[in-house]
């Protein structure tokens, strides 16, 4: 069995526990490495993609299936055994091209690292990577009545394979994965708040209540100049990616990455841009 319902005494809530119904599958995408697995069966089947664009402890999650159809309910989610709630600011509901419900989530470490300020960037990332490998399940709660638990055995071993994929990905960008371990500080965006002002919402999508998500990569040289904007992933419409790259490339300014001796070094910067129409007030779309 791959699906289990657990009712809380008193009828306060219902939990749907989904066991894996396929093996882990690693996909080498054009700009990312993606671990995929199916959970549950029948109408409760859920396809999960765990996505990384760079060698980093953080990752995105794309869930597809009826169990995540709940855009009008308050959303909470966490990765167990840690019960720290993840930020829902970047979560986004949507639909696939064939009409199935989808939900984008992000994972960012929510705990505290001992002596964090005394650790180098490689040391911090190594510790954070170990924390990720302790993940055993993902819990998504919609309101107070329903939660979905994805059981994730073998996640740590699957991440090892993803790390090899990411090293190959960095090499394809003309960078040395080994030298990246020497970077003490990555590129810092100086004027990130100006980026959104310079991105034009695609006119064709303006009146369709369309939303989208674009992840892009910029190469930042030793002087902080950005170039080679590459779309790593885009959801819902390709025009969003074109608009994001054109707008950001014109204005983006950076402090360059620094090596262990504080010398400027070429590195990349990855950003995720989300497109959404403004909220409606009194039946009219705000501009």
Average pLDDT of the chain is 81
Give yes or no for residue 57 having a pLDDT over 60. Answer: yes
Q: Which residues pair with 102 in a beta bridge?
A: 64, 94
pLDDT given at position 282: 41
- Displacement of CA 167 from its chain's centroid (Å): 18
Task: Measure the CA–CA gap between 56 and 170, rounded to whole angstroms.
Answer: 12
Scanning 117-154, the segments in alpha helix (DSSP H) are 121-132
1 token code pair:
């069995």
Q: What architecture (CATH level 2) is domain 183-285?
A: 2-Layer Sandwich (3.30)
Unique residue bearing structure tokens 């100006």: 194
User: Which of 154, 135, 152 shows the shortest CA–CA distance to 86?
Assistant: 135
pLDDT given at position 44: 92
pLDDT in tens, 89-117: 778 888 887 888 999 898 887 666 666 66
Are 183 and 54 in contact by the 8 Å Cβ rule? The answer is no
How would you classify the pairing of strands 188-189 and 254-255? antiparallel
pLDDT in tens, 10-24: 444 578 999 999 999
pLDDT given at position 280: 42
Task: Measure the CA–CA gap between 139 and 133, rounded to whole angstroms.
Answer: 16
Render 178-236 in DSSP notation, one character per residue: HHHTTEEE--EES-HHHHGGGPPPPGGGTTTT--EEEEEEEEE-TTS-EEEEEEEEEES
State if pTM tops 0.75. yes
pLDDT in tens, 185-202: 889 999 888 887 777 766
pLDDT given at position 129: 82
Give the CB-side neighbour count of residue 36, counting CA atoms within 13 A: 12
Task: Name 7's Cβ contacts closer than 8 Å, sequence gap at least 6.
Answer: 14, 15
User: Which of 108, 136, 248, 275 shows the shortest CA–CA distance to 192?
Assistant: 248
| DSSP assigned state of 287 | -
Percent residues over pLDDT 90 in the chain: 31
Give the CB-side neighbour count of residue 178, counting CA atoms within 13 A: 0
pLDDT given at position 29: 84
Q: Helix, strand, or coil here: 133?
A: coil
pLDDT given at position 287: 30
pLDDT given at position 114: 66
pLDDT given at position 22: 97
How would you classify the pairing of strands 92-95 and 101-107? antiparallel
Task: Measure the CA–CA gap between 194 and 20, rounded to whole angstroms.
Answer: 43
């Amino acid at each position: 069995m791959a699906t289990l319902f657990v009712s809380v005494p008193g009828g306060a809530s219902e939990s749907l526990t989904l066991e894996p119904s396929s093996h882990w599958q690693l996909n080498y995408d054009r700009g990312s490495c993606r671990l995929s697995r199916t959970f549950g069966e029948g109408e409760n089947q859920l396809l999960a993609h765990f996505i990384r664009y760079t060698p980093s402890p953080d990752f995105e999650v794309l869930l597809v299936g009826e169990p995540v159809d709940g855009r009008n309910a308050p959303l909470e989610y966490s990765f167990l055994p840690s019960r720290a709630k993840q930020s829902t600011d970047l979560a986004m509901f949507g639909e696939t091209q064939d009409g199935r419900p989808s939900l984008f989530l992000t994972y960012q470490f929510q705990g505290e690292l001992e002596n964090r300020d005394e650790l180098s960037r490689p040391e911090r990332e190594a510790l954070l990577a170990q924390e990720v490998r302790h993940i055993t399940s993902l819990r998504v709660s919609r309101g107070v009545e329903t939660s979905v638990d994805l059981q994730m055995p073998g996640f740590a071993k699957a991440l090892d394979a993803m790390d090899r994929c990411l090293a190959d990905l960095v090499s394809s960008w003309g960078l040395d994965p080994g030298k990246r371990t020497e970077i003490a500080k990555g590129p810092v965006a100086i004027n990130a708040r100006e980026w959104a002002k310079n991105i034009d919402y695609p006119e064709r999508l303006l009146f369709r209540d369309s939303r989208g998500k674009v992840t892009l990569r910029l190469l930042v040289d030793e002087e902080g100049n950005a170039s080679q904007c590459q779309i790593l992933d885009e959801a819902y419409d390709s025009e969003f990616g074109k608009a994001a790259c054109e707008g950001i490339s014109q204005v983006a300014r950076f402090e360059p990455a620094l090596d262990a001796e504080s010398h400027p070094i070429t590195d990349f910067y990855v950003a995720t841009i989300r497109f959404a129409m403004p909220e409606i007030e009194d039946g009219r779309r705000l501009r």
